[in-house]
Amino acid sequence: MKKLPLGIQNFPEIRTDNYIYIDKTKTAFDLINNGKYYFLSRPRRFGKSLFLDTLKCLFEGKKELFDGLYVYDKWDWGKKYPVIRIDFAKGVLKTSDQLRDKFLSILKISSKESGVEIDYSTPSTTFENLIIGCYDKYKMLSFYFLSDIILFWTISCYNINIF
Express each pLDDT in 48-104 by its tens digit.
788 888 988 998 899 999 999 999 999 999 988 888 877 777 777 788 888 888 889
User: What is the C-alpha to C-alpha distance for residues 13 and 10, in angstroms, rounded to an integer?
Assistant: 5
b/e 59-72 (16+ beta carbons within 10 angstroms → b): bebbeebbeebbbe
Q: Is 150 a residue whose pLDDT tops 50?
A: no
Check residues 163 and 133 and name the one with the higher pLDDT.
133
Which of these, 45, 69, 66, lies nearest to 57 by C-alpha position? 66
pTM equals: 0.74
What pLDDT is stored for residue 136 in this prediction? 83
Query: Cα angle vertex 86, ends 77, 24, to 5°?
Result: 45
Q: Which strands make up the sheet holding 141-146, listed edge to edge?
A: 37-40, 150-155, 141-146, 83-87
